[in-house]
Amino acid sequence: MMFVTAGTTKFDELVKKIDECLENGQIKERVIAQIGNGKYLPKNMKYFRFSKDLTKYYRMADIVISHEGAGTLLELVNLGKKTISLENPTTVENPDIVNKLSRDGYLFKCNSMSGIVKAINEAKSKKFRKYVPPKCFIHKVIIGFVEKM
């Protein structure tokens, strides 16, 4: 199963492209989409607008296709999900995060909507790296700050 997430904004271009690929047989898997505030309503897949927690959908999916939202992407790589990220031209980009995660092998960055089917096929066989969060030392900074008071 594939899961598509548009986040809290609208990403009609992505939702419509996946719907068209399902209709013409380029995508054969079952797809569920979270369409956010989008106006386009899919005809070939189940969809919903919002959910308090998308984790259950992420866990069910073999591949997740996502906007470039930093929170979403970090949650997906932490879950070890095969993730394809596309830039949503209607929102703020996070190219540094996406480029770094892609370069390091944690997700697949798709540079254009026309390349989505190719990206899906490559992601199916690609071995993604397991994400290990960096050690956090902020607590030491805070303790040092408080001790100086």
Q: Give 108-139 as a DSSP string.
A: EEE--GGGHHHHHHHHHH--PPPP-PPP--HH
- Tell me the average pLDDT across 9-37: 96
Written in H, E and C, the secondary structure of 57-110 is: HHHHCCEEEECCCHHHHHHHHHHCCEEEEECCCCCCCCHHHHHHHHHCCCCEEE
Q: pTM score, two decimals? A: 0.88
- Tell me the average pLDDT across 47-59: 96
- Tell me the average pLDDT across 43-63: 97
- Tell me the average pLDDT across 128-149: 88
Highest-scoring range by mean pLDDT, 11-25, 67-81, 125-139: 11-25
Residue-wise pLDDT tens digits, 63-117: 999 998 888 999 999 999 999 999 888 776 667 889 999 999 999 999 999 999 9
Banded pLDDT at 148 (limits 50, 70, 90):
confident
Q: 35-39, 53-57, 67-71, 90-94 — which is least confidently predicted?
A: 90-94
Look-up of token digits 């100086």: 148
Cβ proximity of 132 and 80 under 8 Å: no
Q: CA 47, CA 35: separation in Å to the nearest integer?
A: 7
Summary mean pLDDT of the chain: 93
Domains of the chain: 2-147 (3.40.50.2000)
The residues that bridge with 64 in the sheet, in sequence order, are: 3, 83
Strands 82-86 and 46-48: unpaired
